[in-house]
A and B are shown apart, each in its own frame.
Chain A
Amino acid sequence: MSRRFYMDFEKPVVELEQRLNALKEDPLAGEPDIHQEIIWLEGQIAKLKVRTYSNLTAWQKVQVARHPMRPRLSAYIKDITTDWQELRGDRAFRDDPAITGGLARIGGVAVVLVGQDKGADTRDRIHRNFGSPHPEGYRKAIRFYQLAAKFRLPVVTFIDTPGAYAGIEAEERGQAWAIAESLRVLSELPVPVVAVNIGEGGSGGALALGVADHLIMLENSYYSVITPEGCAAILWKSKEKAADAAAVLGLTAAHLLNMEIIDEVIEEPLGGAHRDQQGVTEKVATAIGGALERLIPKTGEELTSQRYERFRRLGAFVEAGEKELGLEKNTS
């Protein structure tokens, strides 16, 4: 696989891979001792990969989640939907390319699909504002949620954003208002809502697509109340402490499954989803299909009241007079 980009911690793997490729391209690659070395190197690389990738720290996972080659929304749309019909615009201000939405079939089931799109190449990334929506992006999403409710179509969202955009115009057009409204509308939606976090789950800007009946995370995606850098800047007064912040924020898929904030984790190949895109998108399609199959038979009333209870129980507190936690399960 061609690797145009690698993360600091995978440098040893990449260096070995480069040496291996050089050997393979050597005109003398057929010679017995070079052949021996190729075999030996392949073994070393396999071992090193397991060691490097099977115990990623929280901060390393954040870097994998941000990997520029990681499959983005458009890869999922291409791989797992048929009959994709993109719909555009918030009908008030403009079409925000940071959020993509439309009608699609997943495993033959018609759904409304909404997600953040970080973009393919540099040009596309700039066009899509690196997946950071403006208020009109959230209002566009709300339009699609309401369309889904009207036509009784399930909603499938894809979360992948560093966060809602922090800019002057985003503030002036009511970023907070648009996010709050997204939360309220999703919480009341009388159709199934399935959310998949495929990369970055940056705070309220991610949650605006995440008030779901079933929340899935890819193994190396993250979901956090604040970016590790932001947390480090505020609590440690130093962005250099982002790795420490990532460790303590509890933002990995495994941690959030344990906290019962998410429902399902999808395994990624060693090194991250970009090492086997089709394998990963296929697993995501299967997971969405499973969730929809379970949710579609429910009535609108059942869905909204169960979704309400799902978020209602989240929190950790004590009530005077009793030492018990206010939630069913502690995280430790």
Chain B
Amino acid sequence: MTMPLSDWFKHRRPTQEGPKEGKRTVPGGIWSKCANCGLIIYQRDILDNFHVCPECDHHFPPSPDEWISTLLETDTWVEQNAGLSPQDPLGFIGRKPYRESLDAAMAATGGREGIITGLGRLADSPVALGVMDFRFIAGSMGSVVGEKITRLFEKSTNERLPIIIIAASGGARMQEGMFSLMQMAKTAAAVGRHSRAGLPFISVLTNPTTGGVLASFGTLADIIIAEPQAHIGFAGPRVIQQTLGEELPSGFQRAESLLDHGMVDMVVHRRDLKDKLSTLLGYLAGHTKAQVDVKVKG
């Protein structure tokens, strides 16, 4: 555990561009290096700090399990539709077969797809929760992600539950072709029904949330929260740069810039997120509970 003091300062060069997208920057082992400021950090310190760098507040991506234990009360989580797994409807072969990408993603994450959905309790409030997993083919939305989101909204509409979605996605799952695109219409319609039933939906956009996920359920929430410095946008920065042939302004498509442009309601540090969600649900989900009570009494 010895490390020359000089090493502590060697890599501490804050970069201006902010975090690299979706890169999982907390590898196994005891020490980690912050992808943003270069600080060498004791792993335990990151874990205890909600996967946030204690020096520069860079938000690392937690795994879905870590998100669930961060937000929900112990032993209240009941996963839904865990058995859904992807198909290869087009027999898609790019540089490598889609099947191989799926197998690799399953092996790397231990999950079946890019989202986990379920029910639990956040402080006093029963909630439905969906957590996307960027490690699974860049959190892209294929049929399974769309189906699980849709089922979560349908169940929450029937059981009058508020929904929280932790979004992280590179966009559409192009290997599923138009089935992927159609998930945008499918999920948007399901959000619409939940909304018309007077139920609250809060989305939390993490680094990065882009493309078809942002252009469907991701932005149809009553309240949109973004994580600090999260990259959020419809088109990828490289595509825009190619279209325009010019440099992008600094802070472009970052959470703070979206806040200025009126596209998100707040930027919330992860350590404050649970309290914030609880407070917001206190305002919005009271309505749900009252109606449930009326129903029970009636």
Identify the A interface with B (CB < 8 A): 164, 166-168, 170-177, 179-181, 183-184, 187-188, 203-204, 207, 210-211, 223-226, 230-231, 234-237, 245, 248-251, 256, 259, 261, 307-308, 311-312, 314-321, 325-326, 330-332
**Contacting residues of chain B (204-261) with chain A, CB-CB under 8 angstroms:** 211-212, 214-220, 233-236, 239-240, 243-244, 248-249, 252-253, 257, 261
Cβ proximity bits B140-163 to A, threshold 8 Å, 1 near / 0 not: 000110110010000000000000
User: A168-B252, A312-B186 given as contacts; is B85 within 8 A of A318 (CB)?
Assistant: yes
Measured in the bound complex, the distance between the Cα atoms of B73 and A99 in whole Å is 49
User: Which of B82, B93, B179, B220 has the most chain A CB atoms closer than 10 A to its own CB?
Assistant: B179
Q: Closest approach, in angstroms, between the C-beta of A312 and any C-beta of chain B?
A: 6
Contacts of B184 in A (CB 8 A): 180, 183, 204, 207
**Contacting residues of chain B (161-190) with chain A, CB-CB under 8 angstroms:** 172-174, 176-186, 188-190
B92 x A248 contact (CB < 8 A)? yes
Is B192 close to A, CB under 8 A?
yes
A-B contact pairs, 19 of them (CB 8 A): A166-B234, A166-B243, A174-B262, A176-B218, A180-B217, A184-B191, A184-B192, A204-B212, A210-B185, A211-B188, A224-B178, A225-B180, A248-B92, A249-B90, A249-B177, A259-B89, A314-B183, A315-B186, A326-B147
B261 x A174 contact (CB < 8 A)? yes
B85 x A314 contact (CB < 8 A)? no
**Contacting residues of chain B (121-146) with chain A, CB-CB under 8 angstroms:** 143-144, 146
B188 x A187 contact (CB < 8 A)? yes
Contacts of A170 in B (CB 8 A): 234-235
Contacts of A211 in B (CB 8 A): 185, 188-189
Measured in the bound complex, the distance between the Cα atoms of B94 and A143 in whole Å is 40
* Option from B186, B218, B243 in Cβ contact (under 8 Å) with A311: B186
A235 x B174 contact (CB < 8 A)? yes
In the complex, the chain B residue whose C-beta lies closest to that of A250 is B177
Q: Closest approach, in angstroms, between the C-beta of B71 and any C-beta of chain A?
A: 24
A315 x B189 contact (CB < 8 A)? no
A261 x B182 contact (CB < 8 A)? yes
Contacts of B92 in A (CB 8 A): 248
Measured in the bound complex, the distance between the Cα atoms of B252 and A330 in whole Å is 42
Measured in the bound complex, the distance between the Cα atoms of B94 and A237 in whole Å is 10
Contacts of A177 in B (CB 8 A): 215, 219, 263
User: Which of B86, B177, B180 has the most chain A CB atoms closer than 10 A to its own CB?
Assistant: B177
Contacts of A230 in B (CB 8 A): 239
Is B83 close to A, CB under 8 A?
yes
B143 x A316 contact (CB < 8 A)? yes
Count of B interface residues, CB-CB < 8 Å: 67
Is B295 close to A, CB under 8 A?
no
Identify the B interface with A (CB < 8 A): 81-95, 143-144, 146-147, 150, 172-174, 176-186, 188-193, 195-196, 211-212, 214-220, 233-236, 239-240, 243-244, 248-249, 252-253, 257, 261-263
Measured in the bound complex, the distance between the Cα atoms of B84 and A319 in whole Å is 4
Q: Inter-chain contact count A-B, CB under 8 Å?
A: 203
Q: Closest approach, in angstroms, between the C-beta of B186 and any C-beta of chain A?
A: 5
* Option from A166, A180, A308, A318 in Cβ contact (under 8 Å) with B239: A166
A311 x B189 contact (CB < 8 A)? yes
Q: Closest approach, in angstroms, between the C-beta of A242 and any C-beta of chain B?
A: 12
* Option from A175, A180, A317 in Cβ contact (under 8 Å) with B218: A180
Measured in the bound complex, the distance between the Cα atoms of B192 and A312 in whole Å is 13
B219 x A315 contact (CB < 8 A)? no
B233 x A251 contact (CB < 8 A)? no
Measured in the bound complex, the distance between the Cα atoms of B212 and A176 in whole Å is 8
14 other A-B residue contacts (CB within 8 Å) besides A176-B218, A314-B183: A166-B236, A171-B233, A176-B211, A181-B220, A183-B215, A207-B181, A225-B178, A249-B177, A314-B143, A319-B84, A320-B85, A326-B147, A330-B89, A331-B90
Q: Closest approach, in angstroms, between the C-beta of B293 and any C-beta of chain A?
A: 28
Contacts of B177 in A (CB 8 A): 224-225, 249-251
| The 8 nearest A-B residue pairs measured at CB | A320-B83, A315-B143, A166-B235, A235-B94, A183-B188, A316-B89, A187-B189, A176-B214
Measured in the bound complex, the distance between the Cα atoms of B162 and A36 in whole Å is 79
B192 x A175 contact (CB < 8 A)? no
User: A166-B240, A207-B185, A317-B84 given as contacts; is B215 within 8 A of A176 (CB)?
Assistant: yes
